[in-house]
Amino acid sequence: MEPSVALSEQAFDEIGESFEKSSKGFVDFLMLNKRGYPLIVLEAKAENKEPLVGKEQSRRYACSLDSRFVILSNGNIHYFWDLDRGNPSIITFFPTPA
User: Could you tell me the CATH number of the domain that includes residue 57?
Assistant: 3.90.1570.30
Neighbours of 42 (CB within 10 A): 20
Q: Which residues form the domain of 38?
A: 27-91
Domain membership flag for residue 75: yes
The predicted pLDDT at position 46 comes to 93
Domain membership flag for residue 10: no
Domain membership flag for residue 70: yes
The predicted pLDDT at position 75 comes to 94
Domain membership flag for residue 6: no
State how far the Cα of 66 lies from the Cα of 38, in Å rounded to an integer.
Answer: 7
Domain membership flag for residue 73: yes
pTM over 0.75: no
Report the number of distinct structural domains present in the chain: 1
Domain membership flag for residue 62: yes
pLDDT surpassing 70 at residue 20: no
Domain membership flag for residue 37: yes
Residue in 77, 87, 18 with CA at minimum distance from that of residue 51: 77
Domain membership flag for residue 87: yes
What's the pLDDT band for 25 if we cut at 50, 70, 90? low
Residue in 79, 84, 86 with CA at minimum distance from that of residue 63: 84
In this predicted structure, which of 2-6, 9-13, 94-98 has the lowest mean pLDDT? 2-6
